[in-house]
Structure 1
Amino acid sequence: MTRSFTVRLAVAFVGMGLAGALLTAVLVNVAFDRRFSSYVEDRREQGERELLAALRDSFVRNGGWEAEDLAGLEASALMSGLSFSVEDNVGATVWSSSDGRSSEMGAMHREMMGTGPLGPARRLLVEINGDNVGLAEVRGTAGGLRPDDVAFRASVNRLLLGGGLIVGVLALGVGVVLARRATAPVQELTNAAQARTDGDRGRRVTLDRLDEFGAMGQAFNQMADTVEEEDRLRRVFAREVAHELRTPLTILQSHIEAFQDGVSEPTPVALASLHDEVHRLSRIVADLEALASADAAGFTLERRPVALRELLQEAAREWDGPLHEAGLGLELDLDDGIVADVDATRIGQVVANLLSNAAKFTSAGGFIGVELECVDGWAVIRVRDTGCGIPPEEMAMVFGRFYRGRTSRARGSGIGLAIVKQLVDAHGGAVEARSQPGQGTVFTVRLPQA
């Protein structure tokens, strides 16, 4: 079962929000406890200081310790959550709040205030002008917290808990909104891809964004445009191939039927015409086979050190006759001593395709040049012509399969240059074209030297 990325992203937002709220609550609670404990301790010390001041005042006022006067201090001590007893400077107990009625009143007060039992005793010296006049044993509420302190701390904890819940709800809402917005472009791309799978070839995405999703949408649209253009070229290619095959087949059929019906005789001229048509069919089939084999050329290359000057001279000799018949000149400018580790047959096919392409686009009276030189460790072959050139809008499609230039004067399969690129790439090289309309074209092939 697939899990929605939107749900997972929303849960992640909620988790981060709750984790942040929980961490904040814990840190605030820890800091609050420290400050509150410090506050309780300061208040206890303040109460002890006030009690000692009251005891000193009682001693001075009465000229010594008076139990009745000390009993009068019990009420204020109880309000501070303290219980005390006093000993004189020889250790005799003068007064204690744990005796008799004072003890009962203290217990009733603690029960009424809900402060709980008393904590451990602290023994404090009572000094006047540096002289020790007695000892006060002071006991405070266990834990140092009064009911109002406990209530205040509980209210703070409830406030933090409520704040955490509110943050969690807000994180849920914000997480859902952000998750949907974040995954909306992905969903649109998914829908567009599914639509194309279902046959809607014109489906595009509209992501007017400047982020990665916008770039993804542009890449998707460019891919769709490329696929659509390739489909168009395949249809054009199928139509062209059908036309190319139909013409020689029609001629062959008509001549053979004429021979069978006795309408005409299989004279040498008629047979030569049929031979030309068969050769034309063979050329078309060979082009298709070459394109198929070029895809796997990287696995079938028979590499060896090849002197490129001799290879180009041989190709020039093979094309000298056809170019001369077409009224085209052929010029060679070949550096010597350049050796490349290549498949000689495949590179010969590359040169033949480039010369054939140049011949198709060059009018009688023009010339084709073949150059060879070494540049930065690369063997560079250039085939230039003085033909009609390639329009700028067609340059990006020159090496595409099934592509035939609109200015071509001769029929062709439209795969010659695609084969060139496949074979050069298989050798680890590169091929590029430069052209100016009306001024000719230059194809440059770079091959790694041996």
Structure 2
Amino acid sequence: MNAILISIGDELLSGRTINTNAAWQGRALAGRGHTVSSAIIINDDRQTIADAITKASHHADVIFTTGGLGPTDDDLTRKAVCDLLDCDMGVDQEQRSLIQQRFKELGREPNERSLRQARVPLACEVILNHWGTAPGLSFELNNVPVYVLPGVPFEMRELFEHILENHLGSDDGFHEQVWLLHGLLESVLAERLERIEHSMTEGLSLAYLPSAGTIRLRLIRKNSQETTLQAFREASGRIEQAIEQWSVSSRDEGIAEALARELRSRALTLATAESCTGGLIGGALTDIPGSSHFYLGGVISYANSVKAGVLDVESSILDSDGAVSERTVIQMAKGVLQRIPADYGVAVTGIAGPGGGTADKPVGTVWIAVASAHQLKAKLHHFKGERDIIRQYTVNAGLAMVLRTIWEEREKQMEKSDSV
């Protein structure tokens, strides 16, 4: 099914708000085998909204709009829908009751602006919003279903999932396998898979999505023929062998999620010591629900005084080797395990820029170390890019290093058990 996404809001066009909704919607639709042919952003204008929906109805199988359903005067999507359908507004009593109940839970009375969100175009079906105050709407235009959703991300996602589950479903001919890789360039991966990709049957395709040292590789099948399903399985097996040394997950997830699953499944714990990332590794882990089961905490040792005073990095090493050095990062990893009794400790220190680089240690120089009861190792990296990019490369590399260390220790334990 071919979808068009319409995001509404002046704040999106000005860059004050990043349009994360469209990216999430695209992933959700792709995961069900649907295609997004275009995603557009338009301003808060009644006629512009109506025109965009009308134009999309001539090219799409389904349309999703996001935004413009709130209580303020610039929320004009409902009025634009009334113009399209030539209908009046009316109060949806069930959504009004939900709004009143939500305010009651907050110990407040809803004002008229909040209750205004229960006024909907009478020609639309209402999709009740149990997570916020603005309901979703659905209608047909030129025989194309249109779903009108609030712009608040968590509300939009709940309603979107409801629509996917109850209205759109999945493409029966769609299958996909996703791998997350770390530690190689996209061009190297493409060259390695070139023969496999060229030999794949019609209806199969590969998609590459690189991001800060990782590559999300998708094998996609869009064909209901049984022969193509068999070819999908064969291609998947060949790809699995070709990428084995770089693969960190065979699920559609990030490195933090992959590491979290591994830690939790083995009842292991992790502590972090961060300098140049300033807590981003801990943030990536605590973004995951239930992270308290495997992430015990961390130390942000940005200043040398904290490296020495909290993590017990020797002042003589800081003076002779500098904060960005092998011996410093090793002592940081050891030190955090002295402070926080976890199974694994990961430490990072580097020069993220834009200043601070030297001829010997240019911007992008990063040391990462992992410590456990069984081993202690460090690795030097040279990342390229702006400050935020270097920091994200460091986060991903640190998490991947912990994950691979766990796998290495597990293999050694298995070899030891086999030899007994």
TM range (shorter): under 0.3
TM-score (norm 1): 0.15
Structure of larger gyration radius: 1
